[in-house]
Each structure stands twice: as C-alpha cells, then as structure tokens.
C-alpha cells in the first residue's frame, strides 16, 4: 500500500487558492448585502436589552420607593393605633371617674335622705313619747288630786315639766 503522506499533510495549492477566493467572495457578498442588516439587528437588540436593563433599574428603584412608603404608612398606622388605644383608655378612665362620682353622689344623697328620715323618726318618737308622758302625767295628776282641775292649766304645767325634762 502506497500512501502519499506528504500529499495528505500539505494541501493542494489550487484547492487552497480556490477556497480562499470563494471565502473572500462570500465575505464580500456578506458585507455588501447582509452586514448592514445584521448591524441594524444587533443595534436594535442592544437597544432592547439596554431598555430592559433601564426599565428593570427603574422598576427596582420604584419598588424601593414603594417599600419605603409602605413602611412609613405602616409606622403611621401603628402610631395612629397606639393613639387610638390611648384615647380609648383615657375615655374609659373618664367614664369610670364619672360613674364613681355619680355613685358617690347617689350614696351621699341616700345617706342624707336616710339621716333626714332618721331625724324625722326621732322627732316623731319624741313627740309620741311626749304625748304618752303627758297622758301618764294627767292620769297621775288626776289621781293625786282626785279632782278635776282646769284642763288647760294642767296641760300647760305638764308641758312645761316635760319640756324641762326632755330638754
């Protein structure tokens, strides 16, 4: 077997020249007809990618602003919540104080009313006792004297005696 190794290792010059010429022609045709189209496509693609990147940055910045605003709103809502709770506590304390004051006033009124009733009952009891003492004194005086004295005079004397006794 006879193999030409040198012929296989080194290319044929004619084939090489034809291949180089056809590659050059293809490059010229490519440059003349396709180069500007591909450049425009690549430029549009680069602009689209740059636009997407810019849009993503803007959306990221906008998202940061929204996060800050929402955090601020959350802080304000928490502050309003605490203020509302504090106001409710203060209102409850005022209502409690009002109820306690009203209850104390009612108790005071009832105590005063009870004192007046007690005083009236005392006076009534004193008056009843005075009447009974007068009746007993009349009976005693009538029995002692065994005779009827002017009732008006007797009554005046007994009243005077009882007044001295009671007071």
Q: Map out the domains of the chain as residue ranges.
A: 5-122
Q: What is the pLDDT of residue 148?
A: 54
Q: What is the pLDDT of residue 118?
A: 95
Q: What is the pLDDT of residue 15?
A: 87
> Are the C-beta atoms of residues 133 and 157 closer than 8 Å to each other?
no
Q: What is the pLDDT of residue 2?
A: 73
> Are the C-beta atoms of residues 158 and 137 closer than 8 Å to each other?
yes
3-state secondary structure of 167: coil
- Specify the DSSP class assigned to residue 146: -
Q: pLDDT tens track of the chain, all 167 residues?
A: 677 777 677 777 898 899 999 999 999 999 988 888 889 999 999 999 999 999 999 999 999 999 999 999 999 999 999 999 999 999 999 999 999 999 999 999 999 999 999 999 999 998 888 888 777 777 777 666 655 556 777 777 777 777 776 66
3-state secondary structure of 78: helix
For residue 6, what are its two tokens? Answer: 């040198």
């Amino acid at each position: 077997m006879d193999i030409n190794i040198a012929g296989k290792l080194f290319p044929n010059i004619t084939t090489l020249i034809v291949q180089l010429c056809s590659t050059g022609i293809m490059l010229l045709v490519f440059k003349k007809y396709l180069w500007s189209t591909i450049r425009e496509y690549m430029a549009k693609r680069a602009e689209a990618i740059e636009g997407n990147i810019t849009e993503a940055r803007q959306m990221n910045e906008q998202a940061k602003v929204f996060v800050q605003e929402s955090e601020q709103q959350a802080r304000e809502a928490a502050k309003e919540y605490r203020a509302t709770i504090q106001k409710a506590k203060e209102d409850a304390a005022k209502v409690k104080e009002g109820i306690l004051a009203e209850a104390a006033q009612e108790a005071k009124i009832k105590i005063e009313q009870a004192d007046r009733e007690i005083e009236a009952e005392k006076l009534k009891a004193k008056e009843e006792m005075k009447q009974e003492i007068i009746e007993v004194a009349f009976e005693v005086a009538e029995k002692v004297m065994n005779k009827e004295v002017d009732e008006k005079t007797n009554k005046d004397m007994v009243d005077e005696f009882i007044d001295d006794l009671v007071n």
